[in-house]
Structure 1
Amino acid sequence: MQPPRSALSPFSDDAFKLSRLGIAETLVNLDAEGNPLPGLAVSWRPVGPTGWEFSLRPGVRFHDGTSLDAAVAVNALSRATRAQPKPRILDGFELAVSEAGPDRLVVRTAEPDPMLPQRLSSPQLSVLATAAYRQDGTVDPAGAGSGPFVLTELRGSEGASLDRFDEHWNGPAKAPGLDVSFVPDGSARAAALRTGTGDIVEAIPASQAALLDPGTFTEVPMPRTNTLYLNSRPGGVFGDAGLRAAVREAIDVAPIVAGPYEKRADVAQGLLGPAISWSGQRPPRTGATPPTAPHGQRITLATFSDRAELPEVAAILEQQLERAGFQVELVVREYSQIEADALEGRFDAFVLSRATVLDSGDPAAYLRSDFACDGGFNLSGLCDAAVDAALREAESEGDMRARRAKILQAEREILRTGAAIPMLHERVVQGNAPGVHGAAFDPRERLLVQRDTHKVAE
C-alpha cells in the first residue's frame, strides 16, 4: 500500500515491509495470542533481574553468504539502540547487548522488562548481515537479510524485485520470486486484483470490496483503530481540555461506519478493539471534562490519502465539527508527505488508522509510543503524569492477566484526557487472486508472503 519512506531501513516503519515480504527475520516470533516463539533464536532465559540470554539457531545464513553468530546479532541490536530517531519499539527503554559465547547473547535493560522476548519480535529489531550497516548510520537490506526472499532491487517509491533464497535455514520458498508494486491509491490496488495484474493485494478499500468476486478477498478483523488525535500541547487550541471535550461530544461515528467503511468496521469502545480478546474487560471511565463552547475557534484537521477511507472520514468530521461551532481547515496528503508535520504538532487534529499491537504483540508498546510524555509517535503531544504512571505500572507487570488489567487502566487514563478519540476498529480486506496459496492473513500486519506462498494455475 505505502511506498518505502526510508529505503527499507529496519529502524523505520519500513521494517514491516522487510518482514511482510520475507526479507528479514527477528530473534523471536509471536503466536496468535502474542506469546513468544523461536525465530533466529531457539531459546531464551532470564539472567538476573534485568537480563535475558538468547541462544541462536544454528545453520542460519544471510543472503550475502555470511553466517549468523552472536557477534552479528549483537551488532544489529546495538545499531538499533543507537539509531536516530530510535525505533519506536525502544521508546523509553535502554538496551545493552553483549556476546555470551559464539552462539549466545545477553540483552540487558535499565529496568526489569518482562516482555523483552516479545519486544525482540518487532521487525524494527530485525537481524541483518553486518555489511548492511553503514558507517554513516544508514542501513541497506539488499542482499543482507536471512528470510526466504532476497531483495535484489528497490525502485524508489515504485516497486521492488525479490528472488528466492535457496539456502534459507528452513528450506527454499515455493515461489521463485516476487515482483512488488507500491500503490497508494486504493482503487488502483483493487483494479489490479480485478484485472489479474496483482496476485496479493493489501488493504482494498471497503468501497471497492463490493466490486470484487467474493472468492478473491478475505476480510480480516484487525487490532487497528481509527482514532482522532487532538494536539494537546500547551498554547494550542486543544491545550484546552474543555475544547477537547467539545470535539468528543460533537463526533457521531455511526455515519462513518455506515459510509466510508460500508459497515466493514466496529464502533470503538476504546483504543483497543474486539480483535484483542480481553479488551472488553476494561474498567468504566471516570472524570470526563465537561465541554467548552468553541465559539468559532479555527482548527486544522489533517489526514492522509493512502488509506482510501480516511479522507472521507475527515470530511464527515469536518462537517460535524463545524456544526458544533468550530471553523475547520481540512488538509489531506499522502502519508509520506504529512507524517513529519503531524509529529511536529503542525495540525490541531489528525485522523490516523493505527495498529495497536504492531510492534511487540503487546498494546503497552503502542500506548507508550503514542501517549507517554517521551513517546516517539506522540501525535497529540500528550504529557500527563497519571498516564505515564499507569503506563509504567503496565510495562513492569510480568503476570499476563495482571498486565492486561493494567493496560486497560492505562487506556482509561489516556481516554480521560480527551487527547485521543477512538472512533472505529477496522476490518482490513486483503485480496488474493485465484490460485494463490499460503499468503498470510496477519492481524498484526507483520507477515504477508511466506516460504509456502505460491501460485498455481486453476
Structure 2
Amino acid sequence: MFSDQKMRLALMGSALAAMVSVASAQTVRIANQGDALSLDPHSLNETLQLSVNANVYESLAGRDKKMNIAPLLATSWKQTSPTVWRFDLRKNVKFHDGTPFTADDVVFSFARAAGEGSDMKAHLAEVKEVRKVDDHTIDIETRAPLPILPAVISSTAIMSKKWCEENQAVRPVDKRKGIENTASFKANGTGPFRVRERQPNVRTTFTRNPQYWGKIDGNVQEVIFTPIASPSTRVAALASGQVDIMEPVPVQDVARLNSGNTRVITGPELRTIFLGMDQKRDELLFSSVKGKNPFKDKRVRQAFYQAIDIDGIRKTIMRDASRPTALMVGPGVNGWNAEQDKRLPYDVEGAKKLMADAGYPSGFEVTMNCPTDRYMNDGQICQAVAANLSKIGVKVNLQAETKGTYFPRVLRRDTSFYMLGWAPTSYDAHNVLSSLTACADDKGNGQFNLGSYCNPKLDEVIKKIQVETDQPKRDALIREAFQIHMDDIGHLPLHQQSLAWGVSRKVDLVQLADNFMFFKWITVKNK
C-alpha cells in the first residue's frame, strides 16, 4: 500500500501526465502552489478561490483589462436616490445548465452571499435590501449612501436559484465548520468557462462555454488547473513544458525562467501582508501568559512591530520582490498616501524596553499560525518573524500548515497570533477599513478582523468615509482612519508582495494587480 507521500506523488504524476496527453493549441495548463478550496463562490473570501471561480461565475459588475469597473450581468446602473441603485440586467443569458438568468437569481444570490455560512457577507454589510422590479431589473437599497456600490459588489457572484434549490445548496458552505455540499464540487454559473471535472487538490478541468453571452478574446478551449505545492516542481514543470502557466514563481528562479521558452511576468500586487493579534480575549488561547492578554497592551504590540526586521525580510527572503509598508493598503488602492506610509523604525533595544515597561522583561511564549502555500514565501517570512521576536525574549511556537486547514482555523478565531493577506476587491481603502479594522458585528463589518481589534472612534470615521462623496474630504477621512489605526498599532503591516507569473512564450495573457487570472483573456499561439 502506498504511503501518503507516495500517493500524493502518484496523483501529481498522473495529473501532469494527463495534462500533457491532452495538450493542444487551444489547451492551456496552469499550475498554482495551492488549489481553490471549493467551487462555491460564497464560501471563502480568498483570492485564488475567487479568481478560479470568476471564470465560471459572474457578478453584476466586474473589472476590465485596465482594472476599471465594467458591466457583466448588469448592462447599466444608476442611482435613483441617495440610497437606491437600479441595475438593468443582461437579457438572453443562460446558466451552464440552460436555465435562463433573471432577477430572481440576483435576489437569491445576494441573500445567500449575505447569509449564514457565507464568507462574502462583509461586502454586503451596508446592503439593506435587494428588490426585484421585473425579470431584468433590480434595485439595491443601502443602509446609507454608498457611492462606490458597483465596485463593492464586484465580487458577489450570481448563482442559479433553481440549481441551488434542486441541489440542496441554498446556503454556502461554512469553511470554519468543515461543512460541504453540492456547490463545493459542482458549479453552474453564467461565465465563459464550465467545470468539466473536479478532483480537489489534484486537478480541475474547465471547458469553454459555447453559450456564453459575451465575447471571449482568447482562443483557449480547455484549461487544466493543477495544484503543485513544491516550488521546485512547479518551476521544473514550466521549464519542461508540462505546464504553460504557473504562479507564484519563486524569487530565486525569476532569472532562470526569463530565458528560452519561458518568461516571467511581474508587477505590483494590491495585496498587503500583515500580522494580527488577539486583542479581545482576557487570556490568550495559546500563550504562556495566564490570567491576562499581553496583546491588549499597546506597548507589547509596538514592541513586536519594532522587533521585526522588515528590510531584512525584503532582502533575504523576498529578494527585493516586496515593498515594506506601514499602512494596510499600498499603491494602486484608492486612499493610499505616500506621506503617511512611514514605518516605525526597526529597534530591538527600544522593543525590549517596551516589553519591560509592559511587565514582560523576559518575554513570553505564544503560538503563531501561518500558511505555507498561500502567500509568497509565507512560511519563510513567519520563520524570520519568529527569529526576530526571539531577540526580545518572545518564544514563538510556529504552527505552519496548508491553507486548507489554516483558513478554517483562523477564520473561526482559533488563534492568538496570525498572518493574513488582503487585496481589496473594490480597490478602495474603505473595503480594508471595514473588513479588517472595524469592530466586528453581525452584519459583516470587521468580518476578517480576526484579532477583534476595536476602536469606536475609528468606526465612526469609517462610517463617514462610506457616505462621503466629496473626494478631498473622503481622502482626508481615510488618512484620519489609518492614523488612528497606526497610532493604536492595531495590526502589524509587513509588505506588499510582487506578482510573478511564469508563462510559456507561446502564451499571451493579462495580469491584473489583484492577482485574478481570467481564462477568457488567454491565447495559446500556434508554433
What SS does structure 2 have at the residue aligned with 1:269? Answer: coil
Summarize deviations over 1:34-81 as a string: whole Å, max 9, x none.
Answer: 653211111111122321110012222221112222222222222222
Question: What is the CA-CA distance between 1:14 and the residue it aligns to?
Answer: 6.0
Change (3 A) 1:318 1:285: closer
> CA separation in 1, counterparts of 2:462 and 2:195?
38
Question: What is the CA-CA distance between 1:339 and the residue it aligns to?
Answer: 2.0
What SS does structure 1 have at the residue aligned with 2:519? Answer: coil
Question: What is the CA-CA distance between 1:277 and the residue it aligns to?
Answer: 7.0
> CA separation in 2, counterparts of 1:15 and 1:153?
21
Q: Name the stretch that deviates more: 247-256 or 165-174.
A: 165-174
CA radius of gyration, larger in: 2
Change (3 A) 1:182 1:59: same
Q: Does 1:364 align with 2:454?
A: no
Change (3 A) 1:28 1:324: same
| 1:193-204 equivalences in 2 (<5 Å) | 193-204=238-249
Change (3 A) 1:392 1:314: same
Q: Which stretches in structure 2 are left out of the alignment for 5+ residues? A: 1-31, 173-181, 283-292, 346-350, 441-445
Question: What is the CA-CA distance between 1:86 and the residue it aligns to?
Answer: 4.7
- Determine what percentage of the aligned residue pairs are the same residue: 22
> CA separation in 2, counterparts of 1:163 and 1:355?
30
> CA separation in 1, counterparts of 2:344 and 2:457?
13
* 8 Å contact from structure 1 (residues 64, 129) kept in 2: no
Q: Does 1:314 align with 2:379?
A: no
Of the three residues 154, 158, 180, the one matched with 1:121 is: 154
> CA separation in 1, counterparts of 2:198 and 2:434?
33
Summarize deviations over 1:148-198 as a string: whole Å, max 9, x none.
Answer: 111122112222111111121124552111111123333332222122111
Residue in 2 that maps onto 1:229: 276
> CA separation in 1, counterparts of 2:342 and 2:147?
28
TM-score normalised per structure 1: 0.90
Question: What is the CA-CA distance between 1:333 and the residue it aligns to?
Answer: 0.6
Number of equivalenced pairs: 452
Change (3 A) 1:182 1:318: same
> CA separation in 2, counterparts of 1:316 and 1:162?
39
Question: What is the CA-CA distance between 1:16 and the residue it aligns to?
Answer: 5.3
Of the three residues 305, 327, 339, the one matched with 2:372 is: 305
What SS does structure 2 have at the residue aligned with 1:445? Answer: coil
Q: Does 1:264 align with 2:321?
A: yes
| 1:25-424 equivalences in 2 (<5 Å) | 25-30=58-63, 35-90=68-123, 92-122=125-155, 125-134=156-165, 135-136=168-169, 137-138=171-172, 140=183, 142=186, 144-171=188-215, 174-214=219-259, 215-235=262-282, 236-276=293-333, 279-281=336-338, 283=340, 291-293=354-356, 294=360, 295-306=362-373, 307=375, 309-352=377-420, 354-357=421-424, 359-374=425-440, 375-424=446-495
What SS does structure 1 have at the residue aligned with 2:257? Answer: coil
Residue in 2 that maps onto 1:430: 501
Change (3 A) 1:164 1:34: closer
Paired residue type of 1:299 = V
Q: Does 1:12 align with 2:44?
A: yes
Root-mean-square deviation over aligned CA pairs: 2.7
Question: What is the CA-CA distance between 1:280 and the residue it aligns to?
Answer: 2.8
> CA separation in 1, counterparts of 2:161 and 2:279?
42
Q: Which stretches in structure 1 are left out of the alignment for 5+ residues? A: none
> CA separation in 1, counterparts of 2:458 and 2:99?
45
